[in-house]
Chain A
Amino acid sequence: MPTSTERMEIRSAEDIVRVRQIVRTKAQAAGLSIVDQTKIVTAASEIARNTLEYGGGGEVEIEGITETGRSGVRMTFRDQGPGIEDIELALRDNYSSGGGLGLGLGGAKRLCNEFRIDSKPGTGTTVMLARWKP
Protein backbone atom coordinates (compact mmCIF):
# COMPACT_ATOMS: atom_id res chain seq x y z
CA MET A 1 0.00 0.00 0.00
CA PRO A 2 1.67 3.23 -1.11
CA THR A 3 0.16 5.54 1.47
CA SER A 4 -1.32 4.79 4.86
CA THR A 5 -3.17 7.54 6.65
CA GLU A 6 -4.25 7.86 10.24
CA ARG A 7 -6.29 10.65 11.74
CA MET A 8 -6.68 11.42 15.38
CA GLU A 9 -7.82 14.10 17.75
CA ILE A 10 -5.42 15.86 20.07
CA ARG A 11 -7.24 16.58 23.28
CA SER A 12 -4.89 15.45 26.04
CA ALA A 13 -1.27 14.79 26.94
CA GLU A 14 -1.79 11.07 26.25
CA ASP A 15 -2.70 11.99 22.68
CA ILE A 16 0.72 13.60 22.23
CA VAL A 17 2.32 10.31 23.23
CA ARG A 18 0.09 8.47 20.75
CA VAL A 19 1.02 10.88 17.95
CA ARG A 20 4.69 10.14 18.60
CA GLN A 21 4.06 6.41 18.44
CA ILE A 22 2.18 6.62 15.15
CA VAL A 23 4.77 8.87 13.54
CA ARG A 24 7.55 6.60 14.76
CA THR A 25 5.90 3.54 13.27
CA LYS A 26 5.32 5.19 9.91
CA ALA A 27 8.81 6.67 9.82
CA GLN A 28 10.27 3.23 10.44
CA ALA A 29 8.09 1.72 7.73
CA ALA A 30 9.25 4.37 5.29
CA GLY A 31 12.84 3.31 5.92
CA LEU A 32 14.07 6.51 7.55
CA SER A 33 17.34 6.27 9.48
CA ILE A 34 17.21 6.31 13.30
CA VAL A 35 18.41 9.91 13.38
CA ASP A 36 15.81 11.01 10.83
CA GLN A 37 13.10 9.10 12.68
CA THR A 38 14.06 10.83 15.91
CA LYS A 39 14.01 14.22 14.21
CA ILE A 40 10.56 13.89 12.71
CA VAL A 41 9.01 12.32 15.81
CA THR A 42 10.45 15.13 17.93
CA ALA A 43 9.13 17.75 15.52
CA ALA A 44 5.71 16.07 15.60
CA SER A 45 5.78 16.08 19.38
CA GLU A 46 6.50 19.80 19.42
CA ILE A 47 3.71 20.70 17.04
CA ALA A 48 1.29 18.33 18.75
CA ARG A 49 2.02 20.02 22.04
CA ASN A 50 1.49 23.45 20.47
CA THR A 51 -1.82 22.27 19.02
CA LEU A 52 -2.91 21.15 22.46
CA GLU A 53 -1.61 23.96 24.62
CA TYR A 54 -1.69 26.96 22.35
CA GLY A 55 -4.41 25.88 19.96
CA GLY A 56 -6.74 24.52 22.61
CA GLY A 57 -6.78 21.09 21.06
CA GLY A 58 -7.18 19.97 17.48
CA GLU A 59 -6.55 17.08 15.13
CA VAL A 60 -3.78 15.57 13.07
CA GLU A 61 -3.59 13.53 9.91
CA ILE A 62 -0.48 11.36 9.61
CA GLU A 63 0.49 9.83 6.28
CA GLY A 64 3.13 7.19 5.78
CA ILE A 65 4.24 7.21 2.15
CA THR A 66 6.14 4.39 0.52
CA GLU A 67 6.42 4.65 -3.24
CA THR A 68 9.30 3.98 -5.58
CA GLY A 69 11.63 6.92 -5.41
CA ARG A 70 9.77 8.60 -2.61
CA SER A 71 9.12 7.47 0.91
CA GLY A 72 8.60 9.32 4.12
CA VAL A 73 6.11 10.65 6.63
CA ARG A 74 3.89 13.68 6.36
CA MET A 75 1.54 15.11 8.97
CA THR A 76 -0.93 17.94 9.05
CA PHE A 77 -2.00 19.47 12.35
CA ARG A 78 -5.08 21.65 12.57
CA ASP A 79 -6.56 23.64 15.40
CA GLN A 80 -9.20 26.32 15.79
CA GLY A 81 -7.21 28.24 18.36
CA PRO A 82 -6.19 31.89 18.55
CA GLY A 83 -3.87 31.68 15.54
CA ILE A 84 -0.50 33.36 15.16
CA GLU A 85 -0.26 37.03 14.30
CA ASP A 86 3.30 37.23 13.04
CA ILE A 87 4.42 33.93 11.58
CA GLU A 88 7.83 35.24 10.54
CA LEU A 89 8.55 36.25 14.09
CA ALA A 90 7.25 32.98 15.45
CA LEU A 91 9.60 31.07 13.16
CA ARG A 92 12.60 33.03 14.41
CA ASP A 93 11.52 32.65 17.99
CA ASN A 94 13.10 29.89 20.05
CA TYR A 95 12.60 28.28 23.41
CA SER A 96 14.97 30.37 25.41
CA SER A 97 13.85 33.78 24.21
CA GLY A 98 11.85 35.49 26.91
CA GLY A 99 9.01 37.20 25.09
CA GLY A 100 7.23 35.75 22.11
CA LEU A 101 5.14 32.65 21.90
CA GLY A 102 7.94 30.22 22.70
CA LEU A 103 6.40 27.71 20.34
CA GLY A 104 9.76 26.57 19.04
CA LEU A 105 8.52 26.57 15.47
CA GLY A 106 11.93 27.47 14.07
CA GLY A 107 13.45 24.47 15.77
CA ALA A 108 10.74 22.11 14.57
CA LYS A 109 11.14 23.44 11.04
CA ARG A 110 14.85 22.65 11.08
CA LEU A 111 14.05 19.04 11.85
CA CYS A 112 11.90 18.60 8.74
CA ASN A 113 12.43 18.52 4.98
CA GLU A 114 9.09 20.24 4.38
CA PHE A 115 7.34 22.62 6.72
CA ARG A 116 4.39 24.86 6.01
CA ILE A 117 2.33 26.88 8.39
CA ASP A 118 -0.93 28.73 7.74
CA SER A 119 -2.32 30.77 10.55
CA LYS A 120 -4.39 33.86 11.09
CA PRO A 121 -5.55 35.36 14.34
CA GLY A 122 -9.06 34.15 14.95
CA THR A 123 -9.09 31.33 12.42
CA GLY A 124 -6.72 28.82 13.96
CA THR A 125 -3.51 27.24 12.74
CA THR A 126 -2.58 24.54 10.27
CA VAL A 127 0.93 23.11 10.21
CA MET A 128 2.23 20.59 7.68
CA LEU A 129 5.50 18.74 8.33
CA ALA A 130 7.24 16.08 6.33
CA ARG A 131 10.47 14.13 6.36
CA TRP A 132 11.60 12.10 3.36
CA LYS A 133 14.10 9.37 2.90
CA PRO A 134 17.07 10.99 1.11
Chain B
Amino acid sequence: MDRIPILKFGYSLLVTIQVDMHDQLAMTLQDDLTARLVKERARGVLIDISALEIVDSFMGRVLNNIAAMARILDAVTVVVGMRPAVAITLVELGLDLPGVKTALNVERGMDLIAATVEEESASDANLD
Protein backbone atom coordinates (compact mmCIF):
# COMPACT_ATOMS: atom_id res chain seq x y z
CA MET B 1 0.00 0.00 0.00
CA ASP B 2 1.72 3.16 -1.25
CA ARG B 3 -0.65 5.91 -0.42
CA ILE B 4 -3.89 6.39 1.38
CA PRO B 5 -6.69 7.43 -1.01
CA ILE B 6 -8.31 10.83 -0.56
CA LEU B 7 -11.91 11.25 -1.69
CA LYS B 8 -13.65 14.51 -2.44
CA PHE B 9 -17.07 14.88 -0.84
CA GLY B 10 -18.72 18.22 -1.45
CA TYR B 11 -16.25 20.74 -0.17
CA SER B 12 -14.53 18.24 2.07
CA LEU B 13 -11.83 15.67 1.70
CA LEU B 14 -12.43 12.22 3.16
CA VAL B 15 -9.58 10.00 4.30
CA THR B 16 -10.10 6.49 5.65
CA ILE B 17 -7.17 5.09 7.59
CA GLN B 18 -7.20 1.33 7.62
CA VAL B 19 -3.64 0.24 7.97
CA ASP B 20 -0.91 0.59 10.51
CA MET B 21 0.58 3.88 9.51
CA HIS B 22 4.32 4.10 9.25
CA ASP B 23 6.47 7.19 8.76
CA GLN B 24 6.63 7.13 4.97
CA LEU B 25 2.90 6.64 4.58
CA ALA B 26 2.19 9.45 7.05
CA MET B 27 4.47 11.86 5.20
CA THR B 28 2.90 10.97 1.90
CA LEU B 29 -0.59 11.43 3.30
CA GLN B 30 0.24 14.86 4.67
CA ASP B 31 1.76 15.92 1.34
CA ASP B 32 -1.19 14.58 -0.63
CA LEU B 33 -3.70 16.28 1.66
CA THR B 34 -1.96 19.63 1.42
CA ALA B 35 -1.93 19.43 -2.35
CA ARG B 36 -5.59 18.40 -2.59
CA LEU B 37 -6.72 21.02 -0.08
CA VAL B 38 -5.22 23.75 -2.20
CA LYS B 39 -6.38 22.26 -5.48
CA GLU B 40 -9.98 21.65 -4.40
CA ARG B 41 -10.21 24.67 -2.09
CA ALA B 42 -11.67 22.25 0.40
CA ARG B 43 -13.06 23.59 3.66
CA GLY B 44 -12.99 20.36 5.62
CA VAL B 45 -10.89 17.26 6.17
CA LEU B 46 -12.67 14.21 7.53
CA ILE B 47 -10.46 11.44 8.87
CA ASP B 48 -12.16 8.13 9.52
CA ILE B 49 -10.25 6.09 12.09
CA SER B 50 -12.94 3.51 12.82
CA ALA B 51 -10.63 0.76 11.60
CA LEU B 52 -7.81 1.69 13.96
CA GLU B 53 -7.42 -0.54 16.99
CA ILE B 54 -4.51 1.51 18.28
CA VAL B 55 -3.77 5.21 18.21
CA ASP B 56 -0.34 5.87 19.69
CA SER B 57 1.61 9.09 20.04
CA PHE B 58 2.94 8.79 16.49
CA MET B 59 -0.58 8.61 15.07
CA GLY B 60 -1.56 11.45 17.41
CA ARG B 61 1.20 13.61 15.95
CA VAL B 62 0.06 12.76 12.43
CA LEU B 63 -3.48 13.84 13.25
CA ASN B 64 -2.32 17.02 14.96
CA ASN B 65 -0.05 17.89 12.03
CA ILE B 66 -2.86 17.39 9.56
CA ALA B 67 -5.17 19.60 11.63
CA ALA B 68 -2.55 22.34 11.93
CA MET B 69 -1.79 22.27 8.24
CA ALA B 70 -5.48 22.27 7.35
CA ARG B 71 -6.10 25.19 9.67
CA ILE B 72 -3.50 27.25 7.83
CA LEU B 73 -5.33 26.45 4.63
CA ASP B 74 -8.62 27.52 6.21
CA ALA B 75 -10.06 24.02 6.55
CA VAL B 76 -11.47 22.31 9.64
CA THR B 77 -10.39 18.79 10.56
CA VAL B 78 -12.83 16.28 12.02
CA VAL B 79 -11.79 12.84 13.24
CA VAL B 80 -14.57 10.26 13.31
CA GLY B 81 -15.12 6.71 14.43
CA MET B 82 -12.74 6.53 17.35
CA ARG B 83 -13.26 3.20 19.17
CA PRO B 84 -14.17 3.37 22.87
CA ALA B 85 -11.07 1.40 23.88
CA VAL B 86 -8.91 3.82 21.91
CA ALA B 87 -10.58 6.87 23.47
CA ILE B 88 -10.06 5.50 26.97
CA THR B 89 -6.43 4.69 26.21
CA LEU B 90 -5.71 8.11 24.70
CA VAL B 91 -7.10 9.86 27.75
CA GLU B 92 -4.99 7.66 30.03
CA LEU B 93 -1.94 8.25 27.85
CA GLY B 94 -2.46 11.98 28.22
CA LEU B 95 -2.43 12.56 24.50
CA ASP B 96 -4.22 15.72 23.45
CA LEU B 97 -5.67 16.34 20.03
CA PRO B 98 -5.99 20.12 19.97
CA GLY B 99 -7.26 21.61 16.76
CA VAL B 100 -9.10 18.39 15.95
CA LYS B 101 -12.88 18.17 16.20
CA THR B 102 -14.48 14.80 16.71
CA ALA B 103 -17.71 13.13 15.72
CA LEU B 104 -19.18 9.67 16.04
CA ASN B 105 -19.25 8.75 12.35
CA VAL B 106 -18.82 10.05 8.81
CA GLU B 107 -22.35 11.39 8.56
CA ARG B 108 -22.11 13.34 11.80
CA GLY B 109 -18.65 14.45 10.81
CA MET B 110 -19.90 15.94 7.56
CA ASP B 111 -22.68 17.73 9.48
CA LEU B 112 -20.08 19.11 11.85
CA ILE B 113 -17.92 20.38 9.01
CA ALA B 114 -20.94 22.06 7.42
CA ALA B 115 -21.95 23.66 10.73
CA THR B 116 -18.42 24.89 11.40
CA VAL B 117 -18.00 26.34 7.92
CA GLU B 118 -21.34 28.13 8.24
CA GLU B 119 -20.40 29.50 11.65
CA GLU B 120 -17.08 30.75 10.38
CA SER B 121 -18.49 32.50 7.32
CA ALA B 122 -21.16 34.06 9.53
CA SER B 123 -18.53 35.50 11.83
CA ASP B 124 -16.44 36.53 8.84
CA ALA B 125 -19.48 38.36 7.46
CA ASN B 126 -19.75 40.27 10.74
CA LEU B 127 -16.35 41.71 10.12
CA ASP B 128 -17.61 43.77 7.17
Contact = CB atoms under 8 A, between A and B. Distances in A.
Do chains A and B make direct contact within the complex (CB under 8 angstroms)?
A: yes
Interface stretch (B10-18, B39-47, B87-95, B119-127): B87-95
A120 interface: no
A107 B95 contact: yes
Contacts of B84: 35
A34 B89 CA distance: 11
Contacts, number: 67
A39 B87 CA distance: 10
Given A13-B22, A20-B20, A110 B92 contact: yes
Interface in B1-58: 20, 22-24, 53-58
B96 interface: yes
A108 interface: yes
Contact residues on A (Cβ < 8 Å of other chain), bracket: 20 to 34
Interface residues of B, number: 22
Interface in A54-108: 94-96, 104, 106-108
Classify the secondary structure of A's interface with B. Answer: helix
B52 to A, nearest CB: 10
Interface of B: 20, 22-24, 53-58, 60, 83-86, 88-89, 92-96
Interface of A: 13-14, 16-17, 20, 24, 34-35, 37-39, 41-42, 45-46, 49, 94-96, 104, 106-108, 110-111
